[in-house]
Chains A and B, each alone.
Chain A
């Protein structure tokens, strides 16, 4: 595993000498600022309205965690769904297009070292995105009193969702040599994964035979479901296991796809 650092380091440097990383970061920061501000303004308006109605009971139930931070984290998880494929699309596809794959596969490194090195570079970028997101709830701690545990669980959830996205993006990049195809493949996979919960709800509404079991399966597979419970402050091993299984599963698929050059 001693080559992992070298591979991750080169990948991160490559990311930051290209404009793509800065474009993604800028877009991400702008969107985060916009959604956070609109969330806070909505909350403020809501508070003022409740005060003018003297609705003390409802006013007491209002809190920053459920009404500002949770919706904000939700929106940002959707933004990541669009942006992370832009970061991962080049991981393996560009090596194939460059011909540098031949250097990597004839070097004394294992394919796991390669896959993990690349994934760690993407993971570092996801961590940076989550740190950017964390700044905004951080502001609320200066001016209000949200619960720190609940906020931290939500941010951890966002990080774990981001890592699953990065693993899926790596896989998409490993099956093609076109970065454009890698981007769209990752995006479609992520979108489907995210929407599985809705599909399950649709199936339940239809009420077909055996619908319940497949509905449970779909719901379990859906990233949004597990993220949801973390945002509500629930740290459940079931959810942590889900994120671990998905990340490792897609990294294993990535390894198989990279290796498949040798099978042909």
Chain B
């Protein structure tokens, strides 16, 4: 479903991401971990087509991000670190607009918006203006825009940051539901976060990034044998994995 091959991003001499390869199968939920500045967001941005990689490539749902960027982007639902919402729009107006941008056919648009509102618990605020919503609700609107076109691949960048514990639980449950929707379609989720219990709760596999490189890629089950996720994380990100400067 997602196939990253040697993704690299350099800004002059600064290496943000170096030679990251991984593949994610349909139906997998992968936790994307790493300290701040490890290159998580940059990697996600390369997968979503926001930033082109300096080197390497990726295939999303069978579409190469260079060869057929529009088809690759159509297959992705992406929630950036801060929800990309227009404060002056109403919740349903905004989701309708995103549905148009994501090529949801006109006849299905209403149903798609209703479904996204329903799943993200936004039905009771559908006519409210986004700017007047609480942070938790705004985050849900961000999630709703990522799923409105029912994409096979979903990429969430720190979806629970800045929320209170109740909201975090709600969002977490929601993401779990999204990945395991009971309609027989396999969906892939990549989720970046700093909250380790969150990963243990919804992911079956973790990728840990450190200093722009992939430092670990293993199923959670396997990691549990060697200690808690927290210990694994500390061990993996403590070592000095040197990143050679760009040639």
- A residues engaging B (CB < 8 A)? 3, 6-7, 10, 13-14, 17-18, 98-110, 261-262, 264
Contacts and interface: CB of A to CB of B under 8 A. Distances in A.
Given A17-B88, A106-B50, A3 B100 contact: yes
B80 to A, nearest CB: 4
Central interface residue in A10, A17, A102, A106, by most chain B CB within 10 Å: A106
Contact of A14 (B45, B78, B88): B88
Given A108-B70, A261-B50, 15 more contacts: A3-B100, A18-B88, A98-B84, A99-B82, A100-B84, A102-B50, A102-B78, A103-B84, A103-B145, A105-B49, A105-B50, A106-B48, A106-B78, A109-B101, A261-B51
Contact of A10 (B78, B97, B145): B97
A106 B65 CA distance: 11
B87 A103 contact: no
How would you classify the secondary structure of chain A's contact residues: helix, strand, loop or mixed?
A: helix
Contacts, number: 67
A191 to B, nearest CB: 30
Contacts of B45: 102
A93 to B, nearest CB: 14
B230 to A, nearest CB: 31
Contacts of A261: 50-51
Nearest to B44: A106
A108 B102 contact: yes
B14 to A, nearest CB: 11
Contact of A108 (B11, B73, B80, B87): B73
Contacts of B70: 108-110
Interface string B21-42: 0000000000000000000000
Determine which residue in A7, A14, A105 has the highest number of CB atoms from chain B within 10 A of its CB, and name it. A105
Top-6 shortest CB links A-B = A103-B84, A6-B100, A108-B70, A107-B101, A108-B74, A106-B48
Interface of B: 11, 45, 48-52, 70-71, 73-74, 76, 78, 80, 82-89, 97-98, 100-103, 145
A106 B103 CA distance: 13
Contacts of B50: 102, 105-106, 261-262
Contacts of B145: 103
A103 B98 contact: yes
12 contacts: A3-B101, A7-B101, A10-B97, A13-B89, A99-B80, A99-B84, A102-B50, A102-B80, A107-B101, A108-B71, A261-B50, A262-B51
Contacts of A13: 89
A262 B73 contact: no
B85 A98 contact: yes
B63 to A, nearest CB: 10
Contacts of B52: 262
A59 B84 CA distance: 64
A14 B130 CA distance: 13
Contacts of B85: 98, 100
A3 to B, nearest CB: 6
A36 to B, nearest CB: 34
Nearest to B74: A108
Contact of B73 (A99, A107, A264): A107
A261 B74 CA distance: 20
A51 B80 CA distance: 73
Contacts of B74: 108
B221 to A, nearest CB: 32
Contacts of A99: 80, 82-84
A33 B183 CA distance: 63
Nearest to B97: A10
Contacts of B97: 6, 10
Contacts of A106: 48-50, 73, 76, 78
Contact of B101 (A14, A103, A264): A103
A6 B80 contact: no
